[in-house]
Amino acid sequence: MSINQSGFTFLNNLANHNGFADWLFIFFARDLIYILVFLTPILILVYEKARKGRIYFTLLALLSLTFSEIIVTLFRYFYNTPRPFDVIDGLKLLISHESSGSFPSGHTMFLVPLALTVYYLKPKIGIWFILGTILMGISRVVVGVHWPFDILGGFILGAIAFYAAKFVLERKIKRE
């Protein structure tokens, strides 16, 4: 059994033991993303008083999300990994999900750039966004819709998308 499968089995075995714990895993895996997405623009507006700062952080978030979406699309086109519930009989699946490419995790690829944007804007709040993103990633394995490497890949590629967007924006600003 591979490290990926062992990690999946360990985390997925946390499911179906406690109703409250299952509810938390489902909340983190499925619903937390909406709260963090809702809070990001509010934080940009509230914490960055200067107009240029708001524009910069808004562009940084949007550009890094665009890069993330391109990366997810390319990886899933060229490297199609089945989801755990497509290959493991009898796994503990807590949420329904379509059978589609699993690597990298789209949720993680979406939240990592937002969390890093908030971190650069306001580090004390950004840490909470990063923690929420980690909890979301782990929970997506527990509920049975991702492999651990999907989440790890989403973190790495999401960070690459963020820093690529940051590089492009800063290079553009230096030219002007």
CA distance 70 to 65: 9
pLDDT digits (tens, 9 = 90+) for 47-95: 766 666 778 888 888 899 999 999 988 988 888 889 898 888 878 888 8
Domain ranges of the chain: 3-175
This model's pTM is above 0.85: yes
- Provide the Cα torsion 153, 158, 160, 166; round to 10°: -170
pLDDT value at residue 50: 61
Helix (H, G, I), strand (E, B) or coil at 79: coil
Cα 90 from chain centroid (whole Å):
26
Predicted local confidence at residue 23, as pLDDT: 96
Task: Name residues of the chain where pLDDT drops below 50.
Answer: none
Superfamily, domain 3-175:
Phosphatidic acid phosphatase type 2/haloperoxidase (1.20.144.10)
At residue 52, the pLDDT reads 64
Q: What is the largest CA-CA distance in the chain?
A: 58
E strand or H helix that includes residue 129: helix 123-142
